[in-house]
Structures are given as C-alpha cells and as structure tokens.
A = this chain, B = another copy of it.
C-alpha cells in the first residue's frame, strides 16, 4: 500500500471547520476575527515516550491528547492538528487502531486533522496542534504575581504510579491499578478548564514532565518563588496513604505525564475558581502560594523535603 493510499484510508476524514483539508500541498484554515492562533508541537518516540508494543488505539488517543493539553495551558480553543508519522512497516491492523484512537480524541475535542506526513522509519509520531485565543487573553507562563494562589486540577501522580506498576517496581491492585493505568494511557486534557481560566489565571502550564519541573517554568518565567505543602497536593488515596515515603512523594511531585493544569491566580479569584470547578465537575485544589524570593520550597507536615529529581528530562 502506497503512503498516499495509507493517508487516504486511515488519516482522511471530513473536517468541520477547515477550508481545505488533507490532499493538497498544504491545508488552508481561516482564523476568526479578533483571535490569535496558538501553535504547539510534540514528538513521541517509541522506546522513549511509549513502549514499542503499546496499544495502538490508546497511543493514537494520547498522541493528540497531550497536544490539546498545551492548548488548554494557554487558554486556547484547540481546532486543528497535523500528524507526521514514521512507520517501520505498513501494518494495517495497527494503523486502523491508531487512527481510531486519534480520531476518537479529535472528535471529543472538536479538532480537525488537516494534514501531515507519512514516511518509513522507526516509529515516531509528531503532532502539531493549533487553536484560537482572543488577542491579549492567552495565559502565559510569565504572568504569575507575588501572592497568587497556586492551583492544580484533578489528581497528580497516578500516571507515574501506573508506569511503575508496568515496570514491575510496585504492585497495584483493584481501584488503584485501574485508575493509574487509565491515567497513564488515556489522559483527559483539561481543554474546558483552559477556556474558563481566560481572564482569571495569571499564569498556567500543563503538568507533563512533573509538577516541580513544570511549576518551575512558571516561576522562572515570572521571576518569583513558591512554597508548596505536599499534604495539600491532590492525589489518589493509594498515594496519599504512602505519602510519607520519598518514592511516593516523587510520583506526586515529579512523576509527570499527569496532563493536569497548574495555574496561579489572585486570591480574589478563589470564589470564581471554585465555581468553575463545580460547573466542570473537576476538582481544583490550592496547593501553595507564590512569593517574592525566588526558589521552590516543598514541605511535608511542615518539614522541608529534598527532591532529587524535579521531573523528566530527555538528556539527563
């Protein structure tokens, strides 16, 4: 099967908001008046980001989901994506599953797949996502102010826990196992939350490498510091009962792959944010506060704790 037939069969579907989709030298889109275009790209490599024998459907889902998460972090409405993929061979069963998962996510989040590339090589997936945000309303990493509350959505650490189980480092059962594996394989990007935070959050980032690493980017870009109380971090009960152990602290603070939003906002916005939490049926938790002196301090039951690894770094 040629790459053209492959694209036609597995990666071409009707679009909802695109002038010209897959099939020409480029796609064409029209940006709404008063909107900026937000653009983000991610590359996932077999052996680095996922196991080579990962479930193809879930991989397809996650490839797009992690990019939608970057849109959420900017307060942008995700609308279009391109997909460039290198395949070691044409495995139609695999492609069918992968594209199903990808389009399941695209449908859920109203994203059109508008272009990309298909080539031969070690399994590598490169997605670019594009979304709209009103000019001036994008939520940047550099906007955090001294005295802001630091918030995080959902739970942290579950995906890392799931990965540890699959690697044989720990043994999970029942609900903890199910929740962790689901968090690892099928993260739900917080797109609606991102939109709701426009004009409310001063800064925002999605937690992908790990809370400390990602919050660290906000602090660095905004030139401020923060103090976190570990016991306030939202996490699955299984993690909570083990939170006195450094290994489990590591999952929550630096496990990564959470795809929750970490954002800062003025204290005056608390009521509004709790209202958003209620409307979206999504837990939003205050985990700390920003302060003027730079640096990130983490305590557990008022004892300062030392973190060895802030988060995932490809070239460490």
A residues contacting B by CB (< 8 A) are: 1-4, 6, 19-20, 23-31, 36-49, 70-71, 73-74, 76, 80, 82-86, 89-90, 114-122, 124, 126, 128-131, 133, 135, 138, 140-142, 204-206, 221, 313-316
Contact = CB atoms under 8 A, between A and B. Distances in A.
Given A126-B126, A315-B3, A28 B133 contact: yes
Contacts of A44: 119
Of the candidates A25, A85, A129, the one having the most CB atoms from chain B within 10 angstroms of its own CB is: A25
Contacts of A47: 121
Contacts of A204: 25
A42 B84 contact: yes
A49 B131 CA distance: 31
A45 B131 CA distance: 28
B45 A141 contact: no
Given A26-B70, A27-B40, A38-B26, A45 B314 contact: no
Given A2-B315, A26-B71, A28-B37, A43 B126 contact: yes
Given A128-B82, A140-B20, A141-B24, A119 B43 contact: yes
Contact of A45 (B19, B120, B313): B120
Nearest to A205: B25
B315 A1 contact: yes
A120 B47 CA distance: 9
Contact of A314 (B31, B82, B119, B124): B119
Contacts of A133: 28
A118 B314 contact: yes
Nearest to A28: B36
A86 B46 CA distance: 11
**3 shortest A-B CB distances, which residue pairs?**
A45-B121, A126-B126, A25-B73
A307 to B, nearest CB: 16
B19 A40 contact: no
B42 A117 contact: yes
Contacts of A131: 26
A36 B30 contact: yes
B40 A26 contact: yes
A273 B293 CA distance: 64
Contacts of A221: 23-24
Nearest to A37: B29
A23 B138 CA distance: 14
5 contacts: A2-B313, A23-B141, A26-B138, A28-B39, A122-B122
Given A37-B29, A82-B128, A140-B24, A3 B313 contact: yes
Nearest to A38: B26
A282 B138 CA distance: 43
A114 B315 contact: no
Contacts of A316: 2
